[in-house]
Amino acid sequence: MSSEPPPGSGQQPPEDDPFRKQPPPPGGPGSPYGDQPPYGGQPPPPPGGGPYGGDPYGSGGYPADPLAGMPPLADSGKRTLARILDMILVGIVVWLLTWGFGVTELDVDTDKVEYGKSLAQSAIAAVLYIAYDTALTVRTGQTLGKKLLNLRVANLDNGATPSVQTNLIRAAVLWIPFAFCCACIWTAICGGWSYFDRPYKQGLHDKAAKTVVVSTGS
Q: Which residue type sits at 60?
A: G
36 pLDDT band, cuts 50/70/90, is very low
Q: Is the pLDDT of residue 91 over 50?
A: yes
Q: What tens digit of pLDDT does each residue of 57-78 get?
A: 444 555 568 888 889 999 999 9
The chain-wide mean pLDDT, for the chain, equals 77
Instruction: Give phi and psi for 215, each to the nearest 5.
Output: -90, 140
The whole-number pLDDT of residue 15 equals 61
Task: Give the pLDDT score at 103.
Answer: 55
Q: Quick one: pLDDT at residue 141?
A: 95
Whether the CB-CB separation of 153 and 170 falls below 8 Å is answered with yes
Q: Which residue has the higher pLDDT, 172 or 28?
A: 172
Gap between the Cα atoms of 13 and 77, Å rounded: 32
Please give the average per-residue pLDDT across 16-26, as a whole number. Answer: 65
Residue 59 pLDDT:
47
pLDDT, position 14: 56
* C-alpha distance from residue 189 to each of 53, 69, 151, 184, 205 (Å): 25, 29, 20, 9, 10
The answer to whether the predicted template modeling score (pTM) of the entire model surpasses 0.85 is no
pLDDT at 181: 81
Tell me what pLDDT residue 52 has.
Answer: 47
Q: Average pLDDT, stretch 91-112?
A: 65
Q: How confident is the model at residue 133 (pLDDT cuts 50, 70, 90)?
A: very high
User: Considering the chain, what percentage of its residues have pLDDT values greater than 70?
Assistant: 63
Specify which residues 152 forms β-bridges with.
214
CB 49 within 8 A of CB 57: no
pLDDT band at 43 (very low <50, low <70, confident <90, very high): low
Output 207 or 116, whichever has higher pLDDT: 207
pLDDT at 29 over 50: no
